[in-house]
Structure 1
Amino acid sequence: MGKKSLEEWQNDAIESTPYLASDEKGSNYREPTQIDLKGPKVETHPKVKPWVHFVAGGIGGMAGAVATCPFDLVKTRLQSDIYLSTYKSNANAALKSRYRSLNYMMEGAVHFKETCNIIGNVYKQEGFRSLFKGLGPNLVGVIPARSINFFTYGTTKEIYSRALNNGQESPAIHLLAAATAGWATATATNPIWLIKTRVQLDKAGKTRQYKNSWDCLVNVTKNEGIHGLYKGLSASYLGSVEGVLQWLLYEQMRHLIKQRSIEKFGYNDEGKKSRSDKIKEWCQRSGSAGVAKFIASILTYPHEVVRTRLRQAPVEGGKLKYTGLLQSFKVIVREEGFRSMYSGLTPHLMRTVPNSIIMFGTWELVIRLLS
């Protein structure tokens, strides 16, 4: 075959342009399509291999868990009834005596102060390491949980969009993928979260029940059986609604950020963006994950309290006090009032919002590095 002239190379390049990943799946997955810039814009994403989602999700989850572990400890203790009198009484007394007539923002400020005080007291009374109680099983749970969640979400979103919506994404596809990811994650990791909860609720000193996470696992399986590791699973399934809401809100906000980028720089033209523009968009996407988590947590938080009580498994009169999802709701509201369903909300938000920002931001960075 003879050498091609420069003009022939240029013609070949022009003819092959439509095949260079012109849409979400690229030329390896379907026929090339022409993009109508005047028509409705559809958000597209480059093809990411499933194992990249798995690895990136695990690394993102690990980074977020380590950074926010002390808030997770406080949240778990406030949700339980073991520490109810120790931690809640001071906050309630302060609200009744000084802030009863003020708005919810002031109450939130009081809870924020109380949360910081609790962290300080744990540090003084139990030592610095106690702030990271449960970090071991937390990491053992977070890494596979986030890996499974991001892997399942990314994979099923791909499958559902191709099977149900001609390869295009939509809120309905995001809903199905997020629900599937939530159920799969909850089922696979419930035993790990149960052990983490028991360890975090375990008191220090002479009353300590478990030596470590492994000892907790042995005790639970020996005394309660294998099914004991799945206490709180029904509440975890209910809690998957939070993940579904977060994914839906995150995808919509990310879509808006993408559309603004298209209007400013042209359709998917990364070459026109400066480094500061790319960092700004990355911060906006990461912040969107935090906002989505904040809204989803506010709407679905009561399930967290019920799940903690079910995993805690307190005994009253020789019988389990909490035996099921609805029964637990009724008992907690009847004995402690509806406000108790939001016990630990402040440290929960202080943990999960920055956790989501760190996790999703890290996830995107790792995807870029590995893709």
Structure 2
Amino acid sequence: MTRGNLNRIEVLEKDVEHSYHFLTSDEKSSTLREVEDVNYKSASQPAQVKSWVHFVAGGVGGMTGAILTCPLDVVKTRLQSDAYTKMYNRSPKSSNIIIKAAQHFQETGSVLKNIYTSEGSRALFRGLGPNLVGVIPARSINFFTYGLSKDFLSNNFNNGTEATWVHLLAGINAGFVTSTATNPIWLIKTRLQLDKTKGKHYKNSWDCFSHIVKTEGVTSLYRGLTASYLGGIESTLQWVLYEQMKTIINQRAVKQGSDKTTKDHIMEWSARSGAAGAAKFVASLITYPHEVVRTRLRQAPLESTGKPKYTGLIQTFKLVVKEEGMASMYGGLTPHLLRTVPNSIIMFGTWEIVVRLLS
């Protein structure tokens, strides 16, 4: 072998030795990218949970939230009703947004105090019975139907992956099924919360149910159903927003790696629960007028004529705006937000804990 060939071999060996580290680095970075892609997919595509787990967890979460926030639900319902709005809304509201918000907070506290002093502490939990009877199956059905619909749509129409349109359709279906199944319960709850006779008119939920069926007919139990369907937009929007925020939170958690402390896990859970509250806040602001319309439709018939004042979705909306102004379509918004935002945080947080325990 000539000297020139030996020199070329030595140069080639040095080149190979010099390039080896870069080849290894490329292979390693490629592997890391694959792992990172898998982690991001697992963050955005969480493992599927059995439908019955969603059913149980949704019921437990709904029950916990309803008990803790019941007094604010009573205030919200009364401020939505024309039977109480004139009693509680006596002071004129400022045109300044900040001052107006402060007035609404003061009004909410005033109504709570008024109910407590004039009707007793039990009045703050009036309607809790049918509320729990309604919330537990309503949240169970909602979480169950949403989870089932999401799995069905993603597995059969989107190659097993989730997407915004999947969340949207699953939310619409869950809202429709839930509203249809639980409307009679919410109607009874509304009647009980609007009863200002300290239990003289309706002794309990069953007495209220019997009175409605006897005097107004079975079909009256579904008054406000159209407004409830409209309200399905709120729950659908909440689901979509929650899923988007949860995906972002999970992706950030993946970046932090697997070495997490208990504090890190608690912070992630708190962030996901907070995302549920933020989603509810935005959804409520956008769709709130349907709440007022639904409450008006569920009111008892007028004592003077025996006929309902509000007879339909459009008729109610027009009549309320004509008689009380557009601002009345947001009556009770402050206690509604004070109740539903923490309620959503509690409900979704409890739901996630129960899902993890049962899974």
| TM-score tier after normalising by the smaller chain length | 0.7 to 0.9
The residue aligned with 1:340 is 328
- Tell me how far 1:70 sits from its aligned partner: 0.3
Label 1:60 to 1:38 Cα distance change in 2 as closer, same or farther (>3 A). Answer: closer
- Tell me how far 1:317 sits from its aligned partner: 4.8
Contact 1:313 1:322 in 2 (8 A): no
1:245 matches 2:237:
yes
Which ranges of structure 1 fall in alignment gaps of 5 or more residues? Answer: 1-33
Which amino acid in the other structure matches residue 249 of structure 1? L
Of 261, 273, 287 in structure 2, the residue corresponding to residue 300 of structure 1 is: 287
Of 206, 211, 221 in structure 2, the residue corresponding to residue 219 of structure 1 is: 211
**More displaced, 208-217 or 310-319?**
310-319
- Tell me how far 1:210 sits from its aligned partner: 1.0
RMSD of aligned alpha carbons = 1.6
CA distance in 1, matches of 2:109, 2:90: 15
Question: Identical aligned pairs, as a percentage?
Answer: 60
Of 216, 221, 234 in structure 1, the residue corresponding to residue 226 of structure 2 is: 234
Task: Tell me the secondary structure at the aligned position of residue 36 of structure 2.
Answer: coil
The residue aligned with 2:309 is 321
Larger Rg computed on CA atoms: 2
1:356 matches 2:344:
yes
- Tell me how far 1:35 sits from its aligned partner: 5.3
The residue aligned with 2:90 is 89
Label 1:334 to 1:226 Cα distance change in 2 as closer, same or farther (>3 A). Answer: same
CA distance in 1, matches of 2:268, 2:215: 52
Q: Cα deviation per residue 1:311-363 (whole Å; 9 max; x = unaligned)?
A: 00443755421111011100000110000000000000000000000000000
1:257 matches 2:249:
yes
Which amino acid in the other structure matches residue 86 of structure 2? S
Which ranges of structure 2 fall in alignment gaps of 5 or more residues? Answer: 1-32
The residue aligned with 1:25 is none
The residue aligned with 1:21 is none
CA distance in 2, matches of 1:314, 1:223: 10
Q: Which has the higher helix share?
A: 2
Match runs of 1:117-132 below 5 Å: 117-132=110-125
Task: Tell me the secondary structure at the aligned position of residue 296 of structure 2.
Answer: helix
- Tell me how far 1:84 sits from its aligned partner: 1.7
- Tell me how far 1:38 sits from its aligned partner: 4.9
Which amino acid in the other structure matches residue 48 of structure 1? V
Q: Cα deviation per residue 1:119-167 (whole Å; 9 max; x = unaligned)?
A: 0111111111110000000000000000000011111100010111000
CA distance in 2, matches of 1:327, 1:72: 25
Match runs of 1:252-291 below 5 Å: 252-265=244-257, 269=258, 272-291=259-278
- Tell me how far 1:110 sits from its aligned partner: 1.0
Contact 2:213 2:220 in 1 (8 A): yes
Match runs of 1:13-24 below 5 Å: none
CA distance in 1, matches of 2:344, 2:330: 20
Contact 1:302 1:341 in 2 (8 A): yes
- Tell me how far 1:208 sits from its aligned partner: 3.5
Of 165, 170, 178 in structure 2, the residue corresponding to residue 172 of structure 1 is: 165
CA distance in 1, matches of 2:251, 2:60: 28
CA distance in 1, matches of 2:216, 2:116: 33
CA distance in 1, matches of 2:301, 2:79: 15
- Name the TM-score, length of structure 1 as normaliser: 0.84
Contact 2:81 2:292 in 1 (8 A): yes
The residue aligned with 1:37 is 36
Runs of 4+, deviation exceeding 6 Å: none
Which amino acid in the other structure matches residue 200 of structure 1? Q
- Tell me how far 1:49 sits from its aligned partner: 1.2
Contact 1:289 1:360 in 2 (8 A): yes
- Tell me how far 1:226 sits from its aligned partner: 1.3
